[in-house]
Every structure is written in C-alpha cells, then in structure tokens.
Amino acid sequence: MIKILIVEDNPDIIKELIDLFIPIMHGESIYFLFDITICMTEKSAISLYPGLYDYILLDHDLPEGGNGGEVLKNWNGTTTVNGSWRDYNKSTKIIAFSSITINNERLINLGADYSIEKMDQKWKSKLMEIIDRK
C-alpha cells in the first residue's frame, strides 16, 4: 500500500485528490492501493514525521500565514538516531504542489523532489506518472 501525505488547504483540490486515489474495484473485490493522510495547515504538517510516507504532496501557501517552505525547513531539521529523516528514509518523495511556479521552485530549492503546478490541466496524469515510477 502506498502512503501519501497531502498538505493542502483547498477543499476542491483535496476532493480531486481523494477521487484520484479512491479504491479500485475489480469484480466483487475492492483494492485499497493508497493510504491517505490530509493536513490543511503548516502546524498540522510539521507535527507529522515525513519519513512515514512514500509521497508527500506539499502546497506552498497554507492558511494562518503558513507555507510549505517552513514545513520543509522544519522537516529538514528533524533527526533520528541515524541522522536526518532523509538519511533514514531515502524513498520518501516530496512533490511541490502549488499553482504558482515560483513557489514550486522555492520548494524544490528546499528539498522537494518533483514539482507539479495545480493549474496545469494535466496535473493528475503527471502525479500518477511520478507515483508509477516507484
């Protein structure tokens, strides 16, 4: 099962993501391929350990003056007995997921692995291409 953390505050985008990751039905069987966690604020995202997830979709502009850049800075300071969380879990992929190009670039510079613009009409297929690479 693929574990995904979504850090996003737009309810319409959240609904589209949930619809994208809904269970797959095959005959009378239901397959759950994704385990989804959703955070809508910087504070709630920071409270989670990023290394528990396979993918993190990280928006830049968050409510209450928060932003994904601060989330990444906080996570980058997170350490384990073996070093940084990235040393412990190199497989976690962070996807910058803003509608503003410069915000995605900022998240990439802070350590995100991929970038997808929400306003790109093909964002869903681009997201699934990234997930299918693993």
Specify the 3-state DSSP secondary structure of 53.
coil
Q: Determine the pLDDT at residue 65.
A: 87
Q: How confident is the chain (134 residues) per 10-residue block, as mean pLDDT?
A: 93 92 73 87 90 92 91 77 63 93 94 94 93 74
Is 96 exposed, middle or buried (CB count within 10 Å of its CB: 0-12, 13-18, 19+)? buried
Q: Using an 8 Å Cβ cutoff, are 1 and 12 in contact?
A: no
pTM to 2 decimal places? 0.86
Q: Determine the pLDDT at residue 21.
A: 86
Domain boundaries of the chain, sorted by first residue: 2-133
Q: Report the CATH number of the 2-133 domain.
A: 3.40.50.2300
Q: Determine the pLDDT at residue 52.
A: 86
